[in-house]
Structure 1
Amino acid sequence: MAACDSPGMSRIPLLRRPDPHGHAKVSFVELFFDLVFVFAVTQLSHTLIGHFAHDGVTLRGAAQTGFLMLAVWWVWIFTSWVTNWLDPERLPVRLCLFAMMLAGLLMSVSLPEAFGERALMFALSFTALQVGRTLFFLWAARGADLALVRNFQRIGAWLSVSAALWIAGALHEDLRVPLWVVALGIEVIGPSAGFFVPGLGRSTTADWNVSGGHLAERCALFVIIALGESLLVTGATFAAAPLTPMSLLAFLVSFAGSLALWWLYFDTTNDFATGRITHSDDPGRLARLAYTYIHLPIVAGIIVNAAADEFVLAHPDGHTDLKTALCLLGGVGLYAVGVGLFKRAVVGHWPWSHGVAVLVLAAAGPFVQAWPPVATSAFACAVLVALAAWERRSRAQCLVPDSATEDSDPSIGP
């Protein structure tokens, strides 16, 4: 995360040339790289389903899955920052991304047993991605301006410390959880701390002069990946289930819920946020907060909701058990909070419609266990649809562009 508009940068063959419009093109090789994370997202939802199906609703299972979600997201978002500066049309950059795809596949394969027998595979593939990508960037940016090199030297120092803890945790089962919590904590805190290293100083968001439109598009595409996995779970579970009126109804409700999730993000928020970061005087600050940190609950909400869809499609009638209720109401609630925080970051105020939606979901919690799962799913879907409709109707008031970007931001009219 460093400056990319210095005069010397265009002479470095492996770095992108600064885009005058602030929106560098997303390349096909970046999209190809993202396919690995389709599998990773599927593994995460199946890991959550497996924990709840075999162990019941436990804090341990939910915490482990949430931890792995954060780790997977952190690999992907750091790579998206790096490809904001590297030119993916150059052969060495492509080869690096292909090598990272292999490491990403190994990491994804290990996810269900990451805290068990495949801990070392997970730790080695994860650290190879994080440290290897940083070392490659330092090689690719040789001869670039000092601010760029210094920034990635700081990042490399932080990731090297966390890598040692990841591997130590994989080798020592009794210490695995505390060591891994500290390791991931180091990586998550790093951007907020400016990757401070004694002797190398601290990075500032002014140094992270990213192509805002590129990063916004990359994050939107990851949301599409998560939604696609949700549809995949819905279709596969429905195909394997007996065809009954209740299973058909559950399928239709799940599909409608996926549409509402898409609508809430892409119809009311994404275009405006892209315009805001593209024309921001400090795109690095907005990229760090709105896209690096706040997109995690958005993606996590979709993954949890995908697990809920599988539970409902497998048993659409009867009573809503605890795991189904938590995934249905919790997944939608987490998504609503994430999108609300995203709007807060790019607009400057919290959309109170999202707070109302979360309160409605929470208020229904004590009652849904008496409902059939398909009815609980329909209720959560109805809350999403109502929220999306509310936001579409009121977005002209909620998303008011400031005077500095009034002429260049996308339209937000009704």
Structure 2
Amino acid sequence: MAAENRRGAMFRVVVPHQHSRVTYVELFFDLLFVFAVTQISHTLLHHFTPIGAVQVTLLFLSVWWVWVFTAWVTNWLNPELTPVRILLFLMMLGGLVLSTTIPTAFEGRGLWFAIAYVVMQVGRTAFWFVSTPHHWTAVRHNAIRILAWLSTSAVFWILGGLAEGESRLWLWIIAVVIEYVSPAARFWIPGLGPSSLEAWAVEGGHMAERCALFIIIALGEAVVVNGATFAELSWTTEIVLAFVSSLVASIAMWWIYFHKGAEAGSELISTSAESGKLARLAYTYLHMPIVAGIILTAVSDELVLKHPSGHSDLKTILSTIGGPLLFLVGTILFKLSIRGFLQLSHIVGILALLAVGWFGSELSPLWLSLLTTAIMIVVAVWESVSLRSASESHSEATSA
């Protein structure tokens, strides 16, 4: 009985409509992913080819998945307790190995990458299962379901780490597909069947804050890397303008995501009767293109800073247009899931970016950067003004 009570004490006490703050140990764990994000953007920068893009996308999906699964588990477990803290510290060790091997994951350190990933995913879920009291049948069944899916994908991760070349890529693609399909399939396994949506209820405000902090990490990584690159260059007018453009673009991205969207998402999921369903769609899946857009923009910033003049090559066009484009696609879908309508400002921004991309080869990298930054500023200002007007109209109608 005492052991059962200790296990139950490891879970958060969720109070309806109250927001559990993100703990310091969770912040400490999240900061490790600054390194992972940096590794991903640098790997893409040095392997900007079709096959390189596929490989880096796969690595990004794996990094995001191990982080977001951990965010789900620590939404239920209490990180203030020593066993859970030790789990996160061990996860940090695994994450450090994972991040270190990213640049050579498809070369000499593929097996190390696979082992680190599998140990983190399976080990964390096994800890969750062991920590769950026996009478919490639904929770234990969910842990068993997830363990079954992750153990299946683990076979392909390890086989891929042992293989080489194209075989490794295909085996790892199979592993990623298995893991990304599993939540949509509600982790169905023979005997237990699928989990119920009610079983995935989360403390919404906590989940929203964790994902928002990951956005901050990605944006902060871009600013830090740009600053380091800028410090090493000669400060010509073009380079200074390129640096200012990159900084303003990061601020615009912050404004587009945080000014209203992040708060609205947190309020909705905190009061939703289907918090698990919303967390799966809005925060597990739809945040991926947002983060990917920030990472791709960081690649563009470095390219433009180092070569601001001349005609833009395909690499510069794809990264400079593709980064903000992915970001806006992600944010418009995220806001659609929480507001129920598409933001006109985001639609216009997406169309404007595509139009600039069409003429991108005729522009210098600096001008391409300046135009995309201007578009992001317009989107941010437009949304802020339109939402303020809508709020004022609603207040007037209510008072009348």
TM category (shorter chain) comes to over 0.9
Indicate conservation of the 8 Å contact 2:40/2:102, yes or no: yes
Shift of 1:380: 0.3
- 1:381 and 1:87 map into 2 onto residues whose CA distance is 41
Structure 1 position 66 matched with structure 2 position 57: yes
Q: 1:314 maps to which residue?
A: 306
CA distance in 2, matches of 1:77, 1:226: 14
Instruction: Output the CA distance in 2 between the equivalents of 1:176 and 1:100.
Output: 24
Q: 1:95 aligns with which of 65, 83, 86?
A: 86
- Per-residue CA shift, 1:123-181, capped at 9, x if unaligned? 00000110000001111113351000000100000000000110011112252122111
Partner of 1:44: 40
Q: Which residue of structure 1 aligns with residue 258 of structure 2?
A: 266
Check conservation: 1:9, 1:17, Cα contact below 8 A: no
More displaced stretch, 233-242 vs 213-222: 233-242
Q: Does 1:161 align with 2:157?
A: no
Matched with 1:411 is none
SS in 2 for 1:298: helix
| Structure 2: unaligned runs, 5 residues or longer | none
1:151 aligned to 2:146? no
**SS at 2:260 equivalent:** helix
The 5 Å alignment of 1:1-400 reads 12-52=8-48, 58-173=49-164, 174-396=166-388
**Closer, same or farther: CA 11–169 of 1 in aligned 2, 3 Å:** closer
Cα deviation, 1:99-118, whole Å, max 9, x if unaligned, reads 00000000000001111111
Normalising to structure 2: TM-score of the pair? 0.94
Identity of aligned residues (%): 49
Between the aligned partners of 2:53 and 2:347, the Cα distance in structure 1 is 24
Specify which structure has the higher proportion of helix: 2
1:352 CA drift (Å)? 2.9
Change (3 A) 1:113 1:142: same
Question: Which stretch has the larger CA shift, 358-367 or 193-202?
Answer: 358-367
Residue by residue over 1:222-273, the C-alpha shift from the partner in whole angstroms, topping out at 9 and shown as x without a partner, is 0000000110121011011111111111111111111001000000311011
Question: Is the 1:212–1:287 contact (alpha carbons within 8 Å) kept by the matching residues of 2?
Answer: yes
> What is the CA RMSD across the aligned residues, in angstroms?
1.8
TM normalised by structure 1 equals: 0.91
One-letter amino acid of the structure 1 residue matched with residue 143 of structure 2: F
* Inter-CA distance 346–191: structure 2 relative to 1 (3 Å threshold): same
- Cα distance, 1:88–1:397 mapped onto 2, change above 3 Å: same
Distance of 2:131 and 2:115 partners within structure 1: 23
Structure-2 residue corresponding to 1:410? none
Q: CA deviation at 1:20?
A: 3.6
Moved over 4 A (4+): 8-11, 396-400
Whole-Å Cα distance in 2 between the matches of residues 219 and 180 of structure 1?
25
- The answer to whether the 8 A contact 2:7-2:131 is kept is no
- Larger deviation, residues 106-115 vs 12-21: 12-21
Q: Distance in 1 between matches of 2:327 and 2:218?
A: 12
- Cα distance in 2 for partners of 1:399, 1:242 equals 47
What secondary structure sits across from 2:101 in the alignment? helix
Instruction: Measure, in 2, the Cα distance between the counterparts of 1:33 and 1:340.
Output: 28
CA shift in 2, pair 1:334/1:245, >3 Å: same
